Structure 1
Amino acid sequence: MNQNVLQLLKSRRSIYALGKNVQQNQAELVDAIEAVIEETPTAFNSQTTRAVFLFGDKHDQLWDIVVARLKSEVPTEAAYEKTKQKIAAFKAAYGTILYFTDTAVVHQLEHDFALYADNFATWAEQGQGSAQLNTWVTLADNGLGASLQHYNPLIDEQVAKAFDIPANWTLRAQMPFGSIEAPADAKDYMARADRFKVLD
């Protein structure tokens, strides 16, 4: 069996020590990731995933929003100091991709295909996961690290206002990315017998 795809998947790790030492320029990165998302399959070819690319001051602004919003959620000042350190690591990255679902498309599909109406939100999430993984692997294949964060819905309102996000776009994830300044820890795997069944 050809193992090329498996090796690419293994190269994709959650990298938290990110930097700005990126060889590719912004245009190259955006073009590549837009193409990857375009080629990611979605149910009914619904293309429900949207992405916003943040660089420079806009990237910094996002993580400033996050750290400010979390202050009221963290129980103690000591805990908040740890939170600030964590967010500072994301801010140290080269850029961030914001992933959204266009709920207007989801609702239109629910209306047009009533028999499957209960499934379209789930299928949109599957499209999100596929787009995020494909992007993550593409970044890894180009020597870049990333992680996937989920500060939504806490930051939804502030993000929508700061970056002029359409009302029908729902934030699903944030992906800071950049140069790999330190490798990921070793990955643990469950026993295959606990995860899989093979029947014949």
Structure 2
Amino acid sequence: MGSDFMSAVKNRRSYYAISKDSPVSDETLHELINEAVKYTPSAFNSQSARVVVLLGQKHDQLWDLTKETLRKIVPADKFAPTEEKMNAFKSGYGTVLFFEDQSVVENMQNQFALYKDNFPIWSNQSSGMLQFVVWTALEDAGFGASLQHYNPLIDEEVASTWNLPSTWKLIAQMPFGKPTAEPGEKTFQPLEERVKFYS
């Protein structure tokens, strides 16, 4: 079991070349996401994570929306690479949107005033863990994925398009699909500069 877990951790990479094919059924995908959300830890078991999964036309709509938002910001003569990137994300099978419910965070702050300043930090840490769990699980299922951050630029339009609660704060976007090309080689800094053991 331990070796399987570490293999999954090692195999997780950023895939930008993805297709609209899926190696698993939508039912399996739904179960995978549900279990990731259910079992990823959170501070004080606050369970502040919220997730939206967009497939098919809804997935395409997200990246069209993002592209048009960026078109208003990026100079026209420099927009081609941005458009190419948006089209690459759109070419995938779906997107996972990660949110943190700020009403839960605020409730925890009110309950535990001593730790008030920590709860937003812990909320982001919990979201990071969930992103990693989902990312690794998607890869283990045969998908390729990457993590994107077009928030807060797209926050309002995403919330209004999918009628999401105003307390849901968008944290990250994860487009995924069947890989069509392998990622480049990954380099690592020396572990002796990053890890210290004491006994």
TM-score (normalizing by structure 1): 0.96
Alignment deviations for residues 51-104 of structure 1 (CA, whole Å, 9 cap, x no partner): 0010111111100110000012213x2320110000000000000011000000
2:159 corresponds to which residue? Answer: 160
1:10-89 equivalence runs, <5 A: 10-75=10-75, 77-89=76-88
Aligned counterparts of 1:39 and 1:159: Cα–Cα separation in 2: 26
Aligned counterparts of 2:31 and 2:2: Cα–Cα separation in 1: 28
SS at match of 2:188: coil
Aligned counterparts of 1:99 and 1:145: Cα–Cα separation in 2: 17
Alignment deviations for residues 124-180 of structure 1 (CA, whole Å, 9 cap, x no partner): 111101111011111111111100000000000110111111000000000001101
Aligned pairs, how many? 199
Alignment deviations for residues 176-197 of structure 1 (CA, whole Å, 9 cap, x no partner): 0110110111111111122111
| 1:145 correspondence with 2:149 | no
Q: Is the 8 A contact 2:23 2:142 kept in 1?
A: no
Please report how far the alpha carbon of residue 2 of structure 1 lies from its aligned counterpart in structure 2 after TM superposition.
4.5
Aligned counterparts of 1:167 and 1:36: Cα–Cα separation in 2: 24
Aligned counterparts of 2:7 and 2:24: Cα–Cα separation in 1: 22
| Structure 2 residues not aligned, in runs of 5+ | none
Match of 1:62, as an amino acid? L
| Structure 1 residues not aligned, in runs of 5+ | none
Q: Is the 8 A contact 2:145 2:177 kept in 1?
A: yes
SS at match of 2:51: strand
Aligned counterparts of 1:88 and 1:45: Cα–Cα separation in 2: 38
1:181 corresponds to which residue? Answer: 180
Aligned counterparts of 2:2 and 2:9: Cα–Cα separation in 1: 13
TM-score (normalizing by structure 2): 0.96
Q: Give structure 1 regions of 4+ aligned residues with deviation exceeding 3 angstroms.
A: none
SS at match of 2:28: helix
Aligned counterparts of 1:164 and 1:28: Cα–Cα separation in 2: 25
1:169 corresponds to which residue? Answer: 168
Aligned counterparts of 1:94 and 1:139: Cα–Cα separation in 2: 12
Match of 2:119, as an amino acid? F
2:105 corresponds to which residue? Answer: 106
2:115 corresponds to which residue? Answer: 116
Aligned counterparts of 2:150 and 2:66: Cα–Cα separation in 1: 7
Sequence identity percentage: 44
